[in-house]
Structures are given as structure tokens and as C-alpha cells.
Structure 1
Amino acid sequence: MVSTRTTYILWFTLGWLGIHHLYLGRFYHAFVWFATLGGGCGLGWIRDAWRIPAYVEWSNPDKQQRKKYAQRAAGKTKPEHSTFRSLGMTLMGYLMSKVFSCLIPDYSHMYDTDPVTYYALYCSSLLLCVLGNALGIYLVANIGELKCSFKYILIVSACIVPIFADITTSLSSSIGSWIIAATGLKWRSPPPDEGKQVTGFRRKFWIHAILYTATCVLWVLMVSVAFYFNGKLEIQGEMMTGQEIIHSAYHSDAWQKLSASLHQLYRTGVWPIVRELTASITMAEKIKAYWLLGISPWTSSDEISKRCRRLLAESHPDRFKRQEERDEAQTRYVQVNHACSYLTESRSRKLQEDPEL
């Protein structure tokens, strides 16, 4: 079950990254927001301000709402056209087709010197452009209550993109999005009702979070590679390629000083903090084990072993007949066993490090 208040908090704080959509179970929506900086440089993020209640309702459908969705799908077999979704499909299709095609290094200079390699790279770039356009349109087309087959989108992209490849990629993305919006979109069934059980929701959320993180990292890497191979920027009146920009930035004095400062900060600041945090966690676990066994840190190893044997025997579940007592004894037995194992391993590790103890 999702909360409207939590969704708005996530929207206000991390909305540009699409985290509020991830919380609502809208994985595609979240990634599109990340890739387009909040749905087109913040336009989609602003639109979410009044769309969130509908998103929450879709994620938490009750019987009456499910009936309403079913009646709508039966009354209108074809979804209504949405200008915002069509623009989103065009933007995402164009963006992903450009990034995918730019993964191939610049081959324009090979036309006269090596035509075979030129046409091989041209075909590879065209295939990646088709795939990127189809994937971008697919992500937006399958957001929320609508869906569309990737196979159908791929066929449409394969028919349109090669025609306009030498003219403009945005035109092929626009035409493909219009065709998909007019002929390919269908209604999606509401998400399953999980009732009041939060285990399934949490598991689904963490799976989506892992996929979202991996996808975003992959997307950033792809954009970086595309910029390295085909990116160009004008710096101080001089046009520089992505490779020249990255190489000059990496070997610049500013980067050398920054990297040295970060390395020094890590050695003198971050790593000691990590060690202190680890030591504090270890100490807290030791204190908990001593308290559970009723002993002090100065207790000898033999006394700890005797204490553990006695407590394990007293809390063994087989000594009790009533089920409630057996359950409590089982919990106590597991806790005592864990504390004894932890202290024994800790003492053994100390003796190995310093045999004189």
C-alpha cells in the first residue's frame, strides 16, 4: 500500500530522479524521469504535482475502482489520445536513438579511404538507432494504465527510421510515436491487490530499486561513451571533440590537484570514520552479548563456555511442553547461541592476533 503523503514528499525532494514513481511501482516512469531530467527538464515533474493522486489511486485500486477501470476498458476499447504521452514517446525515442547510434565511433572520414568499414559501421549505427528509438517509445508507451507490445514498436521503428535516417532522427521518432499512439496502445489491467500485506510490496520495491539503480548507472555509462566518441563542444571559440575534452580535463593541473585532494581526504577523513563506525558497531554487539549472557568483559574464556552451556541447556525448547513456552525458549536459545558464538570467535581472533593475551 502506498501513501499520498509519502509520494508527495519523494516528489518534492527526489522528483527529478523519478524516485516517487519508483515508490509507486512505476519503474519505466522512474527511469524516463531520470533520463530526461524530470520528464523534459522538469516539465513532467511539475505536471506530477496534480497527477500524483491519480497515480496513487492506480497503485491502490479497491473493488469499486477496479470495476470502474473494467467498465472504461469495455466501453472504450481504444485508449484516448494523450498529447503529453505522445510528446514523451517522441522525446525518449529521439534521445535513446541518438545515444545508441553514438556508441559507434565517428566514421564519417572513412567513406573515401575504407568504404567497407564505413558501410559496416553505418549499418551498425542504423540498427542501434532503430533499437534505441523503439526502446525509448516502448518505455513511455508502457507507463501506467497503458501498454504496447515491444515487437510492434520495433517493427514500426524498423520501417520508419531508415527512411529518415539521413534527414533527421526527431522526425522518425515523431512519426513512430504518432503511429504507436494511434494504433498500438491498449489498456493495462490494474496491479494485483496485495491487501494489507506489506511483505510483497517491500520485496517488489527493493527489486525495482536495484533494477532502477543498475539501469541508471548503465544509462550514464552509455551517455558518457556516446559523448566520448561523438560529442562536440565549443570552448573559448574552439570546437573540441569529446575525446579531446576528456583527455585535456584528465591531464589538467586542476584535475590533478582535485584527485590528490580527494585521495588525501579519503585517507585522512573517510577511512578513519569507517574504521570508527565499524569498531562502534562491533563494540555494541559485544556489549549486547555480554548483557545477554549476564557476564562482564573480564570474564575468562572457560567461565564463558560454562555459562553458555548452562544457558543453552536451560533455554532448550525440548524442556517445555506448551507451544508458547517452546516458541519463547526457541527465540532465547537462538539469541544465546549467537552471543556465545560471537564472543568465542572474537576471543579466538584476539588470541591469533596477540598470543600473549
Structure 2
Amino acid sequence: MAKSIVVTYILWFFFGWTGLHHFYLGRDRQAFVWWSSFGGGFGMGWLRDLWRIPSYVADANEDTEFIRHFVEEMRYHGTPPFHGGRFAAKLFMGCLLGYLAMLAVPEEFAEKHTYVRVLLVPAAIAIGVDIVANIGRRTTSFKYVLLAAYAMSIFILTNPNTVVHTTIVCAFVAQYFQRYRQVVPKKKNICKRITILGVGVSIVSTMWVFFLLYNVSITTSDGEQVKLSEALHHFYHSPAWMKFKENLYRLYEQGRTHGWNKMYEELVESLDPLGEDNAYRVLELDRGATQEEITKRYRKLAKEWHPDRNKNEDKDKAEAKFIEIQQAYETLSNIKSRRASKNKRSREKG
């Protein structure tokens, strides 16, 4: 079925950074590059598509005029000439995947198993360069690109910046073996295309997760730096997470025993949409306290935390606490008032 230029531009405008418009046109490699490089190099490729889309659509539809120009280009050049934009894209993708593969391996693990980066990083660089080199009606030899990457891999151990040098070498090798793709490969069915693209997306996403876990740190209130992986480990053993898991299990048991509608009601209630539970917590009262108890407790706490009585201490803290107490009192009072009115109307109707 012929591809529509209007649909392509709509997909480009709304989902361009994901490469969905390229997937629509059957340019799966370019779609992957756009997704993994945030719109083709942080939006640069997306912007360039603004005037390139007509030719992409003509290519996808095998337009007669497009094919004629393509044949003339092949006859004139013989082999694809050097293209600055494509070469820059090879460098960008090679470096992106190379550094991502390097940083996804934890430093402690890499010190004990030095061969992991030597095997992983050159392969990632070669794949990044090869994907760009095979976009559209151009192709190259992945075998030679991969050999070039591993020939440079010995330097990965001593100098991480060799990722750039390896990528440059691979990009030139890809250019040397670049050829025109005279026959467009038979298009795969949509399920197979989605599966292949999904595998690529999953691999890159996994590398990003490992990169963030072992390279990103958070700063505590004391100014101490903690790696994200360590912080998550402590979080999953924290009282807050344990309580959250208990609540989830309780909701599941509630749904299994009393029906899933009841579980939904429990879930909504546990999210405290009215702020009732939090208000009871602020006023240090048990749920179900009477209006008299709420008022009595409010007056005591308001007197204790009134800013005029805390001038010599942390005045800002006292003011914030005083406002929190007032809001909690107003929340509970309003809820009590609404429920009393609702009960009264129900009795009158009954």
C-alpha cells in the first residue's frame, strides 16, 4: 500500500523523536537510530526530516522519478560518495553505543573481568556504525567493520577515549566498503519488524538502566554522595517499601476474598484522596475521632506551635507546622460536616 506524505508528516510532528514516521515508511534502522539518539542526535535528525520526508516517501513508494534519479546516481558515481551527514551520524551512533556499553559495565566488575569490555564495547561501536551505514539504499560489510573494531579493542583497556578512535576507524572502513543497494530487500511482516526493533530497544534500554544504576549518584541532606544502585538497594529494605508491599498484598487478598470491586474501593481509600489519613496523622489522632476530640487536639497543638511562642527557636519550622495543623483541622472538620449533612439527608429520605 502506498505511503502517505500527510500521514508521515503527522507522525513526524507528534512522534518524530521516536522515529515512528521512519518505521511507517519501512526504514526500521533509521527509526531505531532516531529512538536511541533522542530524535536523531538530540533532535537534529528530526529537524532535518522536515525537508527530507518527501524523498523518503518517494523511496518507500518506489516512485518512478525517484528510481530514475537513483539509477542515474549509481551510473555516475559507481559507489556511494562520501556524505558528511551520514559520516557524522556513524560517529555519533558508534560513540553513543560504545560509551554506553562501557559505562553499563560496573567498574568493580570490569576490574575483575577485563575481557568483558574488550568484547562488548567494540561490538557496540561496530553495530552503531553499521546501522547508520545500512540506512536507505546504501549498504556496507558488517564483517569488516566488526574486524576493524576488534583490531582496535586492545586499546580499550588502557584508554577509554579510544572509543572515539575506534569509531572513526570503523566509520572509514564502512565508507570504504559502502555500496548501493540496488535491490530493496523484501519487506518483513509487521510482527517480525516489531520483534526485531523491540529486541534492539530492549538491549539499549537495559544498557541505559545499568549506566544509570552504576554511574549516577544522589546527594543526601548531609551532602554525602550515594550511588543510585546502593540507594535503591537500601530503599527496597526500607520500612516505607516494606509497608507498601504489605499494603499491596493486603489489597490483593481483599480482592481475592471479597471481590475485585472491593479491592478497588480499598485502593482508592489507601491513596487518601481526601487527605483524611494525613490530617489524623498531623493532629496525632486515631481515625474515627469525634469532632470534639479533633477540636480539642487542634487547639492544643495550635497553641504549642504558634509562631509567637517559638520566636527563639526555628520560627520557619514553627510557622510551617502551625499552617499544617490548621489545614489538617479544616480538612477533618469539612469531612465531618459533609458526612453529617449526607447522613441527615439519608435519614429524612428514609
What TM-score do the two structures reach when normalised by structure 1? 0.61
Counterparts of 1:227 and 1:26, CA distance in 2: 30
- Long gaps (5+) in structure 1: 111-117, 193-199, 273-357
Higher relative contact order (CA 8 A, sep 6+): 1
Aligned to 1:300: none
Are positions 1:185 and 2:171 aligned together?
Answer: no
Q: CA deviation at 1:122?
A: 0.8
Are the counterparts in 2 of residues 59 and 191 from structure 1 also a CA contact under 8 Å?
Answer: no
| CA distance in 2: counterparts of 1:44 and 1:254, whole angstroms | 44
**Using the alignment, how far apart are the partners of 2:241 and 2:25 within structure 1?**
40
Task: For residue 109 of structure 1, report the CA deviation from its aligned partner.
Answer: 8.9
Gapped regions of structure 2 (runs ≥ 5): 262-350
Moved over 6 A (4+): 253-259, 261-265
- 8 Å contact from structure 1 (residues 98, 169) kept in 2: no
Residue 220 (str. 1) matches residue 211 (str. 2): no
* Counterpart Cα distance in 2 of 1:143 and 1:262: 49
2:226 aligns with one of 214, 223, 240: 240
The 2-side partners of 1:235 and 1:43 are apart by 33
Tell me the SS of whatever aligns to 2:82.
Answer: coil
Which residue of the partner structure matches residue 48 of structure 2? 47
**1:106 to partner: Cα distance:** 2.4
Mapped contact 2:149–2:167 kept (Cα < 8 A): no
Find 1:156's aligned residue among 148, 159, 178.
148
Residue number in structure 1 paired with 2:84: 83
Tell me whether 1:204 sits opposite 2:189 in the alignment: yes
CA contact (8 A) 1:90 1:170 kept: no
1:279-294 residue pairs with structure 2 within 5 A? Answer: none
Contact 1:22 1:205 in 2 (8 A): no
User: By how many angstroms is 1:95 displaced?
Assistant: 2.0
Q: Retained in 2: the 8 A contact 1:102–1:125?
A: no
* 2:300 match: none
Are 1:143 and 2:143 an aligned pair?
A: no
Per-residue CA deviations over 1:12-44 (Å, capped at 9, x if unaligned) read 111111111111111111111111111122121
- Aligned residues of 2:104 and 2:210 also touching (Cα < 8 A): yes
Query: Matches of 1:262 and 1:186 in 2, distance apart?
Result: 59
My pick for the range that moved more, 235-244 or 179-188, is: 235-244
Q: Share of identical aligned residues, percent?
A: 29
Q: 1:61 to 1:54 in 2, by over 3 A?
A: same
Q: Which amino acid aligns with 2:55?
A: A
Q: 1:312-351: CA deviations, max 9, x gaps?
A: xxxxxxxxxxxxxxxxxxxxxxxxxxxxxxxxxxxxxxxx
For 2:95 and 2:170, locate their aligned partners in 1 and report how far apart those are by CA, in whole Å.
10
TM-score by length of 2: 0.62
